[in-house]
Amino acid sequence: MIKKGLNTMEQYAKRKILKTIGFVLLSMFLFGMVLILMISSDERWFAYLILAACVGSLVILRRTKFWHGWRVFLCWILALVIAWSGLFAGQPSGNIQPFTAMNLEQPSASYKLLLNHLTIVDTKSGQLTSNMSILSSDGKILDIAPTGSIKADEDMQIVDASGKYAVPGYLDMHMHVIGEEHASEAMDQLLANGVTGFRQMSGSAELLKEWRSGAFTRSTDQPTVLSMPGDVLTPINAPTPKVAVELVRQQQKEGADFIKSGAVTPEVFAAVQEEAKSLNIPFVGHVLPDLDLKEATRNGFYSIEHFGINNGALISTSTDETTLRAEATGLPSITSNPVFVQLMKIKGLRDFVNKQVIEIAIETSGGEEDSARLQHMIDTYSEEKAIELADVYVENNTWQTPTLIRMHLGLFPNDSSTPVAQGLYDLYLKLAKTYDSEGVKMMVGTDSGAGAIWRDAGNSIHREFDELEKAGISPLHVLQMATLNGAEFLGRLDDMGTVEVGKNADIVLLDANPLESVQNLHKIDAVIRAGSYHGYDELDSIKKNAIK
């Protein structure tokens, strides 16, 4: 009898231990998920208090007679509902005050700079003016005159630039540098390779706030950020037209220069395009292959990146366009599921999932793997339809940033090659030439950034020059794509794009005439950033240090 009682007590103790372990594990699992989301969301402090109160209440109730039967389930449900409510309450406020427009602080050298005996290249006409001098002060070009006619002062730095050709600083109009781990080092590399300004193609509320406060524009040793969006629109943060429109309004208030489409459904794309038009903010980026590029441009899409993305342009230039577009892969239906939409309102979860989606998209940006379908695109390519597409772009003032090196990387990962990949890339080169011949406005962009391969950030623009040359685009037009066109796109021809009095003193000195060969764009002798002179030895040292 005593033994039976002891066994019962032991069984009761084991059950109690198991229940306690189960209670702890379930608490850790359920509330741990909420806590992780709270931490990653950068929420307000009271959300932590709500979570602590829920856990504490469960611990106390478990020690009372109330913790029995159906009431246990009720306690868990109430605690989770309160915790999740606290999580949503702890999200950043949606009441965003419009940013105050301001003239961002521009850098300038502490000295006057006089460059003598150089040839100025007119990026508008291609005219060369030799034996000239350029005087810069306070970050601006103060005077341009024949060498010998500008009086030298004691506080001037004087450079003999005999045999050099002066062109505006290069503009890389598609980059992902800011916000990455090696942003500063990558920007050093950009300047060393002649880039004095770039369009940042991904952003966030935090980065916009930094930039609008004057960050990324103050250094004469690095290029300046020319424009930036908020978060790129994806099925994660813009799953439905309603959510997407709210996000567009929010980004406009935060000071985004433009709205960038990453990958969204046709319904979301249309809603964003309409809202962006009403707010007078440019809508640019990717146009997925299940969307008609011609329709997008007629509705005001301002800048198409990577030929649309995932072979969208090749579908538009195919004689079997209707069939290919109908077969184009759309976004998963889960993105519009009400439960998914509600979960994506949690900032921490949304940001985490969004980052993973973007990384996967970057890795697979070469397009589809169906070789037969890709070969069909190649076989049905029509130059007549390519010209028709280009003419629609010209008619609607739609800009293009081909990023040929990005297309090359997607089609030839790890430098591997297949006949289909080579056939597709040859068509992209051909299409770029058609755009150029028809007068489509294009800009140089590389899609490079400051991640694991940050050392290549500056060299990327020179590889893009080479690909544009392969496409058969003339040296003058490549130079314009790298300088004048970016300034026009940004509406900044008053201070960028040409070497003229009153413009920013952002200049590249070349050893050879860039109008004779695209290869001469590589031959950089010096870079002047806001009037600050960076000679060949300094630039070479920056490049070598990156390799080390």
Lowest mean pLDDT among 95-104, 146-155, 518-527: 95-104
> Is residue 315 within 8 Å of 305, Cβ to Cβ?
no
* Position 100 pLDDT exceeds 60: no
- 303-305 and 399-401 strand pairing: parallel
Residues paired with 318 in a beta bridge: 381
pLDDT at 56: 72
> pLDDT tens digits for 424-434?
999 999 999 99
Q: For residues 235-255, give the mean pLDDT.
A: 92
In CATH terms, 170-496 corresponds, of 3.50.50.60, 3.20.20.140, 3.40.1390.10, 3.10.105.10, to 3.20.20.140
- Length of the chain measured in residues: 548
pLDDT at 99: 53
Residues paired with 171 in a beta bridge: 197
pLDDT at 539: 96
Where residue 237 falls among pLDDT bands split at 50, 70, 90? confident
pTM listed for this prediction: 0.82
* Position 82 pLDDT exceeds 80: no
Give me Rg for the CA atoms of the chain. 29
416 against 534, higher pLDDT: 534
> pLDDT tens digits for 385-407?
999 999 999 999 999 999 999 99
pLDDT at 531: 96
Measured CA to CA, the distance from residue 437 to residue 471 in angstroms comes to: 11
Where residue 547 falls among pLDDT bands split at 50, 70, 90? confident
* Position 36 pLDDT exceeds 90: no
Where residue 30 falls among pLDDT bands split at 50, 70, 90? low
> Is residue 512 within 8 Å of 523, Cβ to Cβ?
yes
* Position 213 pLDDT exceeds 70: yes
Helix, strand and coil content of the chain, in percent to the nearest 5, comes to 50, 15, 35
Report the percent of the chain where pLDDT is more than 70.
79
Lowest mean pLDDT among 68-72, 178-182, 282-286, 529-533: 68-72
* Position 101 pLDDT exceeds 70: no
Alpha-helical runs (H) found in 449-500 = 460-470, 475-482, 484-489
Measured CA to CA, the distance from residue 330 to residue 290 in angstroms comes to: 6
Where residue 169 falls among pLDDT bands split at 50, 70, 90? very high
Q: How far is CA 85 from the centre of its chain?
A: 34
pLDDT at 27: 64
Q: How far is CA 96 from the centre of its chain?
A: 23
340 against 539, higher pLDDT: 539
**Token pair recorded at residue 251:** 């980004």
Sheet containing 303-305: give its strands across: 259-261, 283-285, 303-305, 399-401
Residues with Cβ < 8 Å from 210, sequence gap 6 or more?
216
Measured CA to CA, the distance from residue 522 to residue 518 in angstroms comes to: 8
* Position 272 pLDDT exceeds 90: yes
> pLDDT tens digits for 288-328?
998 999 999 999 999 999 999 889 999 999 999 999 998 88
452 against 539, higher pLDDT: 539
Q: For residues 486-509, give the mean pLDDT.
A: 97
Measured CA to CA, the distance from residue 166 to residue 119 in angstroms comes to: 6
pLDDT at 369: 65
347 against 197, higher pLDDT: 197
Lowest mean pLDDT among 15-29, 66-80, 276-290: 15-29
Q: For residues 71-99, give the mean pLDDT.
A: 64
pLDDT at 453: 79
pLDDT at 273: 96
pLDDT at 70: 74
Q: Considering all CA atoms of the chain, what is the largest pairwise distance in Å, rounded to the nearest integer?
A: 118
Measured CA to CA, the distance from residue 508 to residue 524 in angstroms comes to: 7
Alpha-helical runs (H) found in 255-398 = 266-279, 293-298, 312-316, 321-327, 338-343, 347-363, 371-379, 383-395
> pLDDT tens digits for 353-387?
666 666 655 555 544 568 899 999 999 999 999 99
Residues with Cβ < 8 Å from 294, sequence gap 6 or more?
316, 389, 392
Where residue 546 falls among pLDDT bands split at 50, 70, 90? confident
pLDDT at 207: 93
CATH number of the domain located at residue range(s) 106-168+502-547 in this protein: 2.30.40.10
pLDDT at 410: 87
Residues with Cβ < 8 Å from 178, sequence gap 6 or more?
200, 203, 207, 211, 216, 225, 228, 450
> pLDDT tens digits for 440-484?
999 999 999 877 777 888 899 999 999 999 999 999 999 999 999
The residue extents of the domains of the chain are 106-168+502-547, 170-496
> Is residue 377 within 8 Å of 423, Cβ to Cβ?
no
pLDDT at 12: 60
pLDDT at 336: 59
> pLDDT tens digits for 39-54?
555 545 556 666 667 7
Q: Given the structure tokens 């039976």, which residue do they identify?
A: 4
Report the percent of the chain where pLDDT is more than 90.
60
* Position 439 pLDDT exceeds 60: yes
Residues with Cβ < 8 Å from 180, sequence gap 6 or more?
186, 449, 450, 451, 454
Q: What is the mean pLDDT of the chain?
A: 86
